[in-house]
């Protein structure tokens, strides 16, 4: 364990994320955000602001664990993440990971009305499902693999594109035609739209 103090911090974050994810899922029952129908007006305007904020972050570095309500932040490394070619970049990089970017964009665009956890599974559980044909800018796209369920989240930018923070060593980028790219289409687990608690 090259960075035990960071591993302990990650352990606390993972436990908190799991607790939030598990705690939020039951709360999204029959009159919840997940069960509410999609509305076009205010959601669309809010989503456009989310997508615009995401676009304004293009070029910011990826940092594992980076990003919060205020924007890009210092990341960290754990046993598996934050490294590039054996070097821990996480603890020296100010930037976003995938859920940090979506957390920041939704919080800022909604003036604090939508506060997502810094954990992909909790963000999925905190959002209403959206059919692919009904995607609006700002909606969240989630990706999964058998070895890494819900491992990635990106922000739908419209016109077939997603803005995301992919992995250590990359920058926040716009990916054109995301759902037509075999790697991403195979891993696509669904789209969701965060809504304020109410």
Q: Sort strands 140-145 and 73-74 into parallel, antiparallel or unpaired.
A: unpaired
**The predicted structure's pLDDT at residue 42:** 55
**The predicted structure's pLDDT at residue 41:** 52
**The predicted structure's pLDDT at residue 115:** 94
**The predicted structure's pLDDT at residue 26:** 28
Question: What DSSP string describes the chain?
Answer: ---HHHHHHHHHHHHHHHHHHHHHHHHSSTTSGGGSPP-SHHHHHHHHHHHHHHHHTTTPBB-TT--BTTB-EE----SSSSEETTEE-GGG-EEB-HHHHHHHHHHHHTTTS----SSHHHHHHTEEEE-GGG--TT-EEEEEETTEEEEEEEEEEETTEEEE--STT-B-EEETTGGGSHHHHHHEEEEEEE----
Question: Alpha-carbon distance 65 to 182, whole Å?
Answer: 27
Question: Alpha-carbon distance 108 to 69, whole Å?
Answer: 7
What string of pLDDT tens digits covers the 198 residues of the chain?
333 333 334 343 333 333 333 333 322 222 333 333 344 455 689 999 999 999 999 999 999 999 999 999 999 999 999 999 999 999 999 999 999 999 999 999 999 999 999 999 999 999 999 999 999 999 999 999 999 899 999 999 999 999 999 999 999 999 999 999 999 999 999 999 998 765
């Amino acid at each position: 364990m090259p960075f035990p103090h960071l591993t302990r911090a990650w352990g606390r974050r993972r436990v908190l994320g799991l607790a939030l994810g598990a705690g939020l899922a039951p709360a999204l029952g029959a009159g919840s955000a997940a069960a509410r129908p999609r509305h076009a007006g205010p959601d669309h305007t809010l989503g456009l602001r989310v997508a615009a904020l995401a676009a304004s972050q293009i070029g910011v570095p990826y940092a594992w664990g980076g990003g919060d309500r205020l924007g890009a932040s210092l990341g960290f490394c754990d046993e598996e993440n934050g490294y590039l070619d054996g070097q821990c970049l996480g603890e020296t990089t100010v930037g976003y990971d995938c859920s940090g970017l979506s957390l920041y964009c939704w919080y800022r665009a909604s003036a604090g009305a939508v506060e997502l956890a810094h954990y992909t599974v909790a963000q999925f559980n905190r959002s209403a499902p959206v059919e692919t044909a009904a995607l609006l800018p700002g909606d969240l796209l989630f990706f999964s693999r058998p070895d890494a369920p819900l491992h990635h989240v990106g922000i739908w930018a419209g016109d077939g594109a997603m803005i995301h923070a992919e992995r250590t060593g990359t920058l926040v980028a716009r990916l054109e035609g995301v759902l037509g790219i075999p790697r991403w289409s195979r891993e696509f687990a669904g789209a969701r739209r965060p809504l304020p608690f109410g």
